[in-house]
Structures are given as C-alpha cells and as structure tokens.
Amino acid sequence: MSALWLLPLALAVPLLLAAISALPVIRDRSLSLAILAPLPGLAAAFLAPRGEVLVLPDLVLGVTLALSEAGALFLGGASFLWLMAGIYSRFYMRGKDRAGNFALFWNLCLAGNLGVFIAADAITFYVAFALVSLMAFPLVIHDRSAKALKAGVAYIVLAVIGEAALLAGLILSSGAAGGVADISALADAIWLSADRPLILTLLITGFGIKAGLVPLHIWLPVAHPAAPVPASAVLSGAIVKAGIFGLIAFLPLGDSLPATGNTLMTLGFLGAFGAALYGLTQDDPKAVLAYSTVSQMGLIIGTVGAGLAAGLEAALVIMAVTIYALHHGLAKGALFLGVGAMAAASGAAARRQRLILALVALSVAGLPLTGGALAKLALKAPLDGVSEMLITASAFTTLLLLAHFLSLLKPESTGESRAPVMRSLPVAALSLAALALPWTIWNLSGLPLDYTWRQDNLLTAGVPLLLAAIVASVAGRLAFKLPHAPQGDLLALVYTFSRRIALPTQRHISKAGVTLTQLIRLRPLRHADWLKQFADRSEGTLAAALPTLLVTLILALALLAL
C-alpha cells in the first residue's frame, strides 16, 4: 500500500467525522474529535508521492486525486492551520452552545478545503470548492448575532454567484478540452479555445470572489471578523487560499495574455494598497486583519497577473505564489487566533502574547531574515519593473496596517494571566511555523540561500519598514486620530443603495422572501409591478381560454389532415 492512499483519507476522515458528529452519543465530543480531522491531510502533504494520480471511478463523476509540489505546500499549510485552529476551538467553544453544530460544519468545510488542493480533475475540484464555499456559511453565522447574519447573507450571495460563474467556466473549458476534465489538460484547452475571454472572465470571477479580488472582495472584510475566532483564522488563512490555488491551477500560465494579465495585476495591486489603507480606518482588530488579508491576496493576485501578462514560466510563478501563500496562511492564522488569545489574557501572558504577535506582524511585513522576508523575496524573484517595486513598497503599508492592528489589541483585565495550553500552543506553533518554514523549503524557490542576506535585498526590505516604523511612532506620539469608515467599504455602498433606492421601489412587490431575495432584487424596476400583473393576468386568461382554443385548433388540423 503506497502513501497515495493518504489522499482519499484526507477527505474521508473529516467527512466521516462530520457524518458521525450528528449522532447524539458523539455530539458532545465531536469538537475534540474534529482536532483529528486534518491529520491525514498533514501526513499526505509529507508522505504522499507527487504527481501520481489516484482514480476512484465510482464516486461522483469519477474522482481523481493527485498531489503536485505546489499542492503539497498548500495542503500541508492548510492542514496544519486547521489542526491548530481545531485545538484552539476546544478552548474557544468551551461553555458555548451548539459546539456539535460547529464541529459538523467545521469538518465539512475542512474536507472541501483540503479537497481543492488535491483534486486532479475539474469536477472533483468543483465539488470540493462548493463544499468549502457553502459550508463556510454556517461557520460565519455561528454566533447568530445580527451582525453575523448580515455578514453571512453578503457572504452567501457572493459565494453562490462565484459558484455559478465557476461552474460555467469549468463546463466551457472541459467542453473545449473535448469532454475531458483533467486539470492538467484544461489550461491548454483554455488557451486554444475560441471562448477564451469568456472562460477567463468566468474563472477569475469565481476564484476572485473566494480570494478577495477587488472589487469582488466586499464580503471578506465583514464575514471574516463576524465568524468565531478559530473560524476566522481558517477563513483568512486557509479558505481564501482555495481561490488562489484555483487561479494558479486553471489560468494558462506560461502563455502571454497581456489584457487579462494586466487587468488582474491592476486589480491585485489596487487591492494590495487600497485595502491596507482602508484597513487603517477600522477599529475592530479582526476587521483590520481581514483588510490585511485582502491586501496580501492582492499582492499574490498582482503577481499572478504580472506573470500572465509577461508569459512567465508557469512553474516559477506558481512556486513564488505558493511560498508566499504558505507563509501568509500560517501568519494570518496566528494573528487571528492571537486576537482571541489576547482578549482572554492579562498580565504576563498578555505581554508574551503581544510580543509574539508583533514578531509575526513584522514577518508579514517582510522584516529581513524572517520567514515573511523570504516569502517576499520568492514572490518578487520572477518579476521585474513596476510590479517588483510595488511589492517592495507594499511593506510600508503592510507594516502601518499591522501596527494599527497591534495598537488595537487590548488585553482583558479580568482574563487569566496563566494561559491554558489549548490557547497558547496554537498561536505559538503557528507563529514559529510562519517564521521558520520558509527557510526549510527555500530550495523550492530555486534561489541560492545567500540570496536571502544579500545586501541589496536587506536594504530594499528594510527601508520601507523603517519609514513605516517612523511614521507609526510619530503618529502614536502625536496621538494622531485615524478617520473612521464603515466596515465593508463597497458593501456599505450596496446597503445604502438598497436602503435609499431599491427598497422603496420594491415595497409593492410581494413581501415573501427575505434579505437574500432583497439583495438579488436590487435592480430598481419600477415596472416590476406591471410585469407581475401582466404575468398573473395572462396566466389567468390562459387557464380560462387556452384549452378551448387548443381543442378547436386541433380539431381543425385533424380535419385538414384527414
């Protein structure tokens, strides 16, 4: 038995745990069991052979699983984060309601998330992607607060639109590949297809919604903070990566597509800087982190776009993006869990916690010789010109944003000064992994080890950080007050629009259906009433008169025929 069998196990174990978590006997323990769920995935990331395909022909439309080099890093990082967040959730959910519910959707979402990284065909990929998308909804709204529900609605509307776009894109590209759905065959088929612009638009929309591509990111800054802390950590650390992975797996990298590439690059860097600046207006630390996620994903998307525009070799772009995504996942997971840990800590534990988080934040910003700096070097390596400069400059805004984040962390005075291990271990382990892991996988980047401490690299990484530190400390000294803006930037505009314009016009339309339909009915159709009456009246007329007409017509026809 080869280690290839770890791949189906990585999906089967969480699914099985989800299935049995509904049993009354298991229900109360299901959250403890959920800790085990990501273990086969983690083992697979280390042990499963790369590139071999496992076929399970009887499941769905023939499930095929395989692990690529990049997929293994995504899988390993995500499994580790899910594991740590799972341990943390034992602490977090203590004494809270509906822990069994949480465990059920946690496991389903986990299975989908890991499935995305090991699917070898478009259908399996889509099944996994839909699972992680839709099962994240119950995690987002777990608290049932008004804020969480509102965020959940925004999330699910965009998730459904994303799924629809993705399905259309995948059908078109599988069709273009002659009915074959192998992911490795699709990129070429997309490149050759006559529908290429349409397919690319659909796929980028589907993946972009998940990955927080501006302007499709609007759900992210409201949904990530609304979820319980461990769920926020996996949403920001692992689930957004499903979108990134989709982009690098399906886009025809290696071919030069200037229009698509430049659009993607523009939107990516717009998000990278725009979200970081907008995040400064937030006063909820989790919202700040969510904006930081949009910003960091913007850098990745910008890089993918630049690579696509220039037709850079696929393997280079993919590995650069993968190392960066791995570091971001671990670091962002640590930061989100840290928010929860800080809220429950005081005294020495709080000080220790803050120190760790500060170090992780510096790593994300790219402090030389940290894991984050390596990730950033790897990301920049294939690029040149403007995009490389923008990534360098982004360290400035990233550090400002994370300094703002650190200043918002207020330890609870009533919290425990001795941290329970369920709380401190996950943060510490994720932080350590974020700082150290890029060193251990540096050889995958194809760059020499001394590249990391070359003088010019240290300089370009250090200068923006120094500037940011000066600005931050001056602002702190002067007690500079940041402006405040609503959480969910463009989404707030949508809400305003629906309140001011769409809702009054649709007041006459039937009262059935709740917020979701309201969002979907945003089109301010004044003649909707008229349409409705027309439909009703014509159906009424049909019901009364049509049969008679039909019979007459048929009899006439029959006479003619005979």
Partner 1 sequence: MSAEILIPILLLLAPLIPAVASALLAGHSNWRNTVNIAFALFKLALVTYALAGVASGAEYEWRIAFVPGLDMVLRLDALALLFVTLSGVLWTATTLYAIAYLKGTPHQARFFAFFNLCVVAASGIAMSGSLITFFVFYELLTLATWPLVVHTGSAKAMAAGRTYLAYTLAGSAALLAGIVWLESGAGPVEFALGADLSSFSPAAASLIFALLIGGLGAKSALIPLHPWLPAAMAAPAPVSALLHAVAVVKAGAFGVVRVIYDVYGIETVAALGLGIPLAALASATIIYGSLQALRQSDIKKRLAYSTVSQVSYIILGASLAGPFAVIGGLVHLVHQGLMKITLFFGAGVLAERANITGIAQMDGIGRRMPVTLAAFSIASLGMIGVPPVAGFVSKWYLGMGGYQSGANWVIGVLIISSLLNAAYFLPMLYRAWLKPAAETLPSRQQLAASRTWLLILPGAFTAAAALGAGLFAGFELSPLGWATLIAERIYLR
Site for partner 1 contains 543 (CB under 8 A):
yes
Q: Which of 44, 127, 183, 312 binds partner 1 (CB under 8 A)?
A: 127
| Binding test (CB under 8 A) with partner 1, winner from 25, 514, 526, 527 | 514
Is the sign of the CA dihedral 351, 356, 361, 367 positive or negative? positive
Residues that bind partner 1 (rule: CB under 8 A) add up to a total of 59
Which of 374, 371, 429, 367 is CA-nearest to residue 398? 367
Is residue 172 involved in binding partner 1 (CB under 8 A)?
A: yes
When the beta carbons of 180 and 393 are compared against partner 1, the nearer one is 180
> Which of positions 383-412 make contact with partner 1 (CB under 8 A)?
none
- For residue 278, the Cα-to-chain-centroid distance in whole angstroms is 19
- Smallest gap from residue 503 Cβ to partner 1 (A): 16
Q: Say how far apart CA 204 and CA 69 lie, in whole Å.
A: 23
Q: Per rule CB under 8 A, is residue 75 in the interface with partner 1?
A: no
| Shortest distance (Å) from residue 497 CB to partner 1 | 18
Question: Is residue 96 part of the contact set for partner 1 (CB under 8 A)?
Answer: no
> Should residue 539 be labelled a site residue for partner 1 when binding is judged by CB under 8 A?
yes
* Contact status, residue 465 vs residue 365, Cβ threshold 8 Å: yes
- Identify which of residues 75 and 127 has a Cβ nearer to partner 1 in the complex: 127
User: Residue 7 has which token pair?
Assistant: 């791949």
- How many beta carbons lie within 10 A of that of residue 434, not counting itself? 29
Q: Which is nearer to partner 1, 59 or 449 (CB)?
A: 59
Residues numbered 37-56 forming contacts with partner 1, rule: CB under 8 A: 56
Q: How far is the CB of 20 from partner 1 (least distance, A)?
A: 15
Point out which span in 43-51, 287-295, 470-478, 536-544 binds partner 1 (CB under 8 A): 536-544
User: Which C-beta is closer to partner 1: that of 418 or that of 508?
Assistant: 508
Query: What angle is formed at CA 92 by the lines to CA 426 and CA 227, rounded to 5 degrees?
Result: 100
Question: Which of residues 12, 19, 23, 61 is near partner 1 by CB under 8 A?
Answer: 61
Longest dimension (CA), the chain: 99
What's the sign of the alpha-carbon dihedral 56, 60, 63, 69?
negative
Say if CB 403 and CB 289 are below 8 A apart.
no
Q: Which stretch binds partner 1 (CB under 8 A): 244-252, 361-369, 467-475, 510-518?
A: 510-518
- How far does CA 202 lie from the centroid of its chain? 17
Q: Is 65 in the site for partner 1 (CB under 8 A)?
A: no
**Cα 62 → chain centroid:** 26
Give DSSP secondary structure letters for 94-117.
Answer: TT-S-HHHHHHHHHHHHHHHHHHH
By beta-carbon proximity to partner 1, the closer residue of 58 and 450 is 58
Rounded-to-10 torsion of CA 379, 383, 384, 387: -70
SS (H, E, C) 359-389: HHHHHHHCCCCCHHHHHHHHHHCCCCCHHHH
Which of positions 178-237 make contact with partner 1 (CB under 8 A)?
Answer: 179, 195
**Nearer Cβ to partner 1 (56/490):** 56
Of 8, 175, 420, 524, which lies in the binding site for partner 1, with binding defined by CB under 8 A? 175
User: Given the rule CB under 8 A, which residues bind partner 1?
Assistant: 56-63, 123, 126-127, 130-131, 134, 141, 144, 149, 153, 156, 160-161, 163-165, 167-168, 171-172, 174-176, 179, 195, 509-517, 520, 532, 535, 539, 542-543, 546-548, 550-551, 554-555, 557-558, 561-562
